[in-house]
Amino acid sequence: MTRSGTFYPLIVLILFPSLQSRAQEAVSLFAGGTKRVFQPLKAPVGEPRVGAEFFSSDRSLRLDIGNAIDVISFPLGRNHRETVSLGAEFMTWTALRREEHFHFPVDAVDYLFGMTVNYRLSYDSITFCAVRLRFSHISAHLADGSYDKVAGSWRDGRVPEVYSREFIELIGAIEFGENLRLYGGGHYVYHIDPGNLFPWMLRAGLEVAYTPPRPSWFHSYFAYDVRLAGGGKPVGNHSFQGGIKFGAWNGTGIRVFLTYFNGLSPHGEYHDIRISSWGSGFSIDF
């Protein structure tokens, strides 16, 4: 953990008077599911979700455990076409290896926690604008699966190093019903270790879904995310995901998908390693 722990309570104190003034205007506490003001992005790593991805190239897998919730939300304007929420999110994404006898040594784990301020505007019945302002902390760690007890050394000569980021991220999206979402934005890292990493990141992407007339709980979809981030200079990182969602598209359900990633490793302890891998996976959406 870092010294940024006092930053989040400060944001809450700044926003609290505004929340109080809206207390009489249909304030919702702990709204989730389809009421979430900004739905987490589906393709990129580092978004709150619960699931796993299995990669065929090196018999590795990634385990995601996390969720995001709107703690409090309230409408704006006379027609209530606008909604603002204050949310919280927690997330881990873990690198594991598949070995015989159902063993999965843990190589590395990354932690994210933070708060969000979210905004949603309804232009008409099918067109929406959504914005997410994120204040988050990420730290990364090598785990015991990276240590070779027989050789008495760390695998591949990589030793644990301090890796942490505190950043502000702004993402804006245009939604056309539940079938298409286009988004873009970026973030700035105001505290980072190691210090030679690039502090800026730019991101853009899309999500396309098809829902047949019947059954309405079945959705095929495709999601793509590209971001410029990296070490001394930005590098293109590409994430693809395509599959089937069972359940409400923006609510509770399960996704089964194929995935492809090309870019620098999403794990902070391997931030300087470029990878390219296909895989399959699932995600349980809350």
Residue 130 lies in a domain: yes
Interatomic CA distance for residues 248 and 265, integer angstroms: 31
Range(s) of the domain holding residue 40: 3-201
Question: What pLDDT score does 22 carry?
Answer: 47
How many residues can be counted in the chain? 286
Residue 106 lies in a domain: yes
Residue 21 lies in a domain: yes
Tokens of 22: 């809206």
| Chain segment 156-180, per-residue pLDDT in tens | 878 888 999 999 999 999 999 889 9
Cross-strand bridge partners of residue 162: none
Interatomic CA distance for residues 103 and 25, integer angstroms: 53
Residue 76 lies in a domain: yes
Residue 211 lies in a domain: no
Map residue 19 onto helix, strand or coil: helix
Q: Do the strands 50-55 and 274-285 form a parallel or antiparallel pair, or are they unpaired?
A: antiparallel
Find the range with the poorest average confidence among 31-35, 61-65, 99-103.
Answer: 31-35
**What DSSP line would sit under 58-78, residue for residue?**
TTEEEEEEEEEEEEEEEEEST
| Chain segment 203-250, per-residue pLDDT in tens | 999 999 998 888 778 899 999 999 998 766 778 999 999 999 999 888
Interatomic CA distance for residues 140 and 158, integer angstroms: 14
Residue 277 lies in a domain: no
Residue 271 lies in a domain: no
Which residues have CB under 8 Å from 83's CB, separation 6+? 37, 73, 74, 75, 76, 119, 120
Residue 172 lies in a domain: yes
Interatomic CA distance for residues 271 and 262, integer angstroms: 13
Give 130's pLDDT tier (boundaries 50, 70, 90): very high
Count the domains in the chain.
1
